[in-house]
Structure 1
Amino acid sequence: MRVQYRYNPSVVGFTPQVVARWVPIFGFWGGALGLGALFFLEPIPRVRNVILQKIPVLGSYWDRPVDPNDSPF
């Protein structure tokens, strides 16, 4: 009987099979944390104007015009 060696690539102990199993899980939690942070930062005007108003269907929800009486200009 002859011993056959097979190359099993790994980086710091993570094989491609382990990475393929964990990527969807981390992707889901990363997306959930990103959306949570986005809505947590909603009161900041720059986040509202640059990110949230660019959403195609829901962007008008975050459009908050300034009353001309309140505008300093």
Structure 2
Amino acid sequence: MVRNPPIQPKFRANIRGYSAETARYWVGTSTRWGAFAGVAALFLFSQVPLMKQSLLQKTPLLGWYWKVEEIKK
């Protein structure tokens, strides 16, 4: 009678050594860091006129905050 060994290897599907669980963890972490870096860059460059005109003033909900009314003479 042949017995199965008590400890058998567990096979997991992976791509280049990264399993689905590992990829899920790193995608979530990368998304959070990327969002933080994007928001920080927007606040750091919010005083640059080109950034104000091309991006910040065209933001749907907060564009009014960066709009500058021209003084008419």
TM-score (norm 1): 0.71
Cα distance between partner residues in 2 of 1:17 and 1:5: 15
Matched letter for residue 61 of structure 2:
V
Instruction: State the identity as a percent.
Output: 27
Matched length: 68
Alignment of 1:23-34 (within 5 A): 23-34=27-38
SS for the counterpart of 1:37 is helix
| RMSD of aligned residue pairs (Cα, Å) | 2.4
Instruction: List gaps (5 residues or longer) in structure 2.
Output: none
Matched-pair contact (CA < 8 Å) for 2:57–2:64? yes
Alignment of 1:1-73 (within 5 A): 1=4, 6=11, 8-11=13-16, 13-68=17-72
Instruction: List gaps (5 residues or longer) in structure 1.
Output: none
Deviations 1:34-65 (A, max 9, x none): 01001100111111111111122211110123
Which one has a bigger Cα radius of gyration?
Answer: 2
TM-score (norm 2): 0.71
